[in-house]
Chains A and B, each alone.
Chain A
Amino acid sequence: QKEVEQDPGPLSVPEGAIVSLNCTYSNSAFQYFMWYRQYSRKGPELLMYTYSSGNKEDGRFTAQVDKSSKYISLFIRDSQPSDSATYLCAMRTYQFYFGTGTSLTVIP
């Protein structure tokens, strides 16, 4: 079993939709939970990170962590074509573990 599981998609939504991206994990020792956005032919860019269970909001993005269920989510409100990218979840103990990424396309 992989440390971090993420549905690869692809996910295609109309502009303005709410997008939900999810990851599950098996290691209860994970402390930090992160979401990265990666545009084609670019490096992953840190979007949000959280340390504990609960919600964290930043503009149109909300990160949610449920440690009891070992489940994290990223919500994107009012999605824009510029949100089209691959989204990677990541977690860490002494090293970082990444999901396989979900490819998102927002259609104008």
Chain B
Amino acid sequence: DTAVSQTPKYLVTQMGNDKSIKCEQNLGHDTMYWYKQDSKKFLKIMFSYNNKELIINETVPNRFSPKSPDKAHLNLHINSLELGDSAVYFCASSHEGSGELFFGEGSRLTVL
């Protein structure tokens, strides 16, 4: 059973389109995250939710909107996609205060 699963794995889309990425974790964790990884492998935190409440919202354009319907799910919707949004987006989860962070396999977004 996959612990943190995200879909789709690959998205190729045109500039200006809207897209969503879904994430689910079956680890019973209370905190979920979205990270963006650029071509140089740097992982940058975008959002963090604890028990469905937004607790970290880094400097991310308003075009990015996370939604957490319950503790096990955290989705990411992106409006009006731009070329610079091309990256790999990782969902992750942990227990609050724990040193263990578990990642999904990533969603590779390419904006043409």
Contacts and interface: CB of A to CB of B under 8 A. Distances in A.
Interface in B70-112: 90, 98-106, 108
A90 interface: yes
Interface residues of A, number: 26
B99 A44 contact: no
Contact of B99 (A41, A42, A45, A51): A51
Contact of B100 (A41, A46, A101, A103): A46
A101 B38 CA distance: 12
Interface residues of B, number: 20
A42 B106 contact: yes
Contacts of A43: 4, 90, 103-106
B100 A49 contact: yes
A32 B95 CA distance: 13
Interface in B20-79: 33, 40-43, 45, 48, 56
Interface of B: 4, 33, 40-43, 45, 48, 56, 90, 98-106, 108
Contact of B43 (A45, A46, A49, A98): A98
A74 to B, nearest CB: 15
Interface of A: 8, 31-34, 36, 38, 41-46, 49-51, 86, 88, 90, 92, 95-96, 98, 100-101, 103
Given A43-B105, A43-B106, A95-B56, A100 B100 contact: no
A42 B99 CA distance: 21
